């Protein structure tokens, strides 16, 4: 299963890179879950819809051993988490799950277009 969020560093996946004000964007994140693309250099604000909100930003810190820990959120006004009005605040437990529907992922690119996998630019797959 591919990752829900993919990060594309500079020089990779040029076929996916949305155009910015000054040409191609240098960094961006595409979220398969939200179907949107976010600008890493601008507080993860959306470049493409359907979302209208920036991605929530997790505050990280490291310990003396080099371990990385998430210890909070920089903003609670990011993309809503399913079932929650506000990120990190109450809601319902996940509990037992049941698969309701199964769908085959589709490639948004035209047939024959290069993909990140063929360009060697994916991270986390």
For residue 120, being part of any structural domain is answered with yes
For residue 32, being part of any structural domain is answered with yes
Return the closest-CA partner of residue 8 out of 116, 81, 89: 116
Query: Is the pTM of the predicted complex or chain greater than 0.75?
Result: no
For residue 57, being part of any structural domain is answered with yes
For residue 93, being part of any structural domain is answered with no
Q: Does residue 1 have a pLDDT over 50?
A: no
Question: What's the whole-number average pLDDT of the chain?
Answer: 62
Most confident of the ranges 11-20, 75-84, 91-100: 75-84
Are the C-beta atoms of 57 and 73 separated by less than 8 Å?
yes
Structural domain total, the chain:
1
Q: Does residue 42 have a pLDDT over 70?
A: yes
Domain of residue 55 covers 1-80+113-125
């Amino acid at each position: 299963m591919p990752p829900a969020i993919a990060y594309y560093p500079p020089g990779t996946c040029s076929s996916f890179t949305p155009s910015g004000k000054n040409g191609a964007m240098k960094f961006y994140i595409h979220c398969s879950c939200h179907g949107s693309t976010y600008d890493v250099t601008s507080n993860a604000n959306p470049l493409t819809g359907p979302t209208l909100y920036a991605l929530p930003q997790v505050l990280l810190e490291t310990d003396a051993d080099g371990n990385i820990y998430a210890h909070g959120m920089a903003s609670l006004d990011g993309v809503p988490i399913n079932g929650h009005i506000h990120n990190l605040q109450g809601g319902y437990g996940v509990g037992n799950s049941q698969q309701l529907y199964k769908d085959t992922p589709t490639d948004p690119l035209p047939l024959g277009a290069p993909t990140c996998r063929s360009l060697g630019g994916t991270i986390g797959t």
